Amino acid sequence: MFVRQFQQSLTEAIGEYMRRFAIIGHRAQSSGKLPLSDLASGAGRMDVLIRALMASLMTSHGFRKDSEIILHLWGGPGPKRRLKIIGNEVTGLHAEERSIAGQIAKILREPVPPIGSWTKRSSGIYDSGGSIQETIREWGDSTIIALDANAERLWSDNANIPMESNPHSFELIDEEELTVTGIDIGFILSDDQTLNLDDYDGIIRRSIGQTWLQGHMAIAICHFLIDEGVSLNL
C-alpha cells in the first residue's frame, strides 16, 4: 500500500517539473525483429538511442526521478514509433546496451499503438505512434530547446560553474513525501541527420559548443549544467 501511494505521489509531484529529452532516430528500426548483434547498422543506429537513454535517466546508483526520454524510431518497417521511459517509474532496466536492446526488441514485435495513445509495455516504459510534433504538443508549456551547434550557447554570457552545486531542479524525499522543484525543460536531439524544426513555434535553438557531439554526451552536458546551477540562456 505504501509503495503504491508513494509511487502515485511521486508521479504527481514531478508531473510539472521534468527534464525531458527526445532523440530522433531517422533510421532506427520501429518494428520487427531487432538484430541484437548488430544494433549499429542492422538496427539503424539503435545503439545511439540506447546510450542516450542511459545518459538521460541513469546515475551511478539508480535513476533520475525527475527525468524522462522519448526515443523516436523512424526507420520502419511500418509507421513511426515512440518509446517513452520515465525515470521515476522504470524498473528492471540495467546499464548495459544489449540488455536494454532486449527490452526494446520485445516492444518492436508488438503493433504500433495509435497516435496520441500511450500503451504501457512494462514498468515505466510506454509505447505510442507519432512523430516529433506529438511530443512537442505533449510537452505543453515546457521550455523546449533544440540542440544546434550553430546556435547561441545554452549558458548565459556571464555564466560560471559554481563552486558548490546549486541545481535548477532537484528532488527531495522526506519520509512519505517527495518534492520536485525547479525548471520544466525539454531537449530535442537528432542522430547524425539534420532535423528541421522550422515549422514549430516556441522552440529555442541553443548550442553546447561548436563541435557536434554524440547524443549521450550532449545529454550528459545538459544534466551537468542543470545539476550545477549554471546560468542558462533561455
- Domain definitions of the chain by residue range: 2-228
pLDDT digits (tens, 9 = 90+) for 109-166: 999 999 989 999 999 999 999 999 999 999 998 999 999 999 999 999 999 999 999 9
pLDDT at site 177: 66
Q: CA angle at residue 113 from 92 to 16, to 5 degrees? A: 65
Enter the pTM of the model: 0.90
Q: Average pLDDT of 174-179?
A: 65
Q: Convert 171-227 into a string of H (helix), E (strand) and C (coil).
A: EEEECCEEEEEECCEEEEEECCCCCCCCCCCCEEEEECCCCCCCHHHHHHHHHHHHH
The average pLDDT across 172-183 equals 70
What is d(CA 64, CA 62) in angstroms, rounded to the nearest whole number?
7
Answer yes or no: is pLDDT of 43 > 90: yes
Window from 83-97, 117-131, 161-175 with minimum mean pLDDT: 161-175
Asked: is 2-228 a CATH 3.30.70.20 domain? The reply is no
What secondary structure letter does DSSP report for 115? Answer: B
Q: Please name the residue that has the C-alpha cell 510534433.
A: 133
| pLDDT value at residue 178 | 61
Burial class from Cβ neighbours inside 10 Å (0-12, 13-18, 19+) for residue 60 reads exposed
For residue 58, report the phi and psi dihedrals to the nearest 5 degrees.
-100, 140
Q: Torsions phi, psi of 11, nearest 5?
A: -65, -45
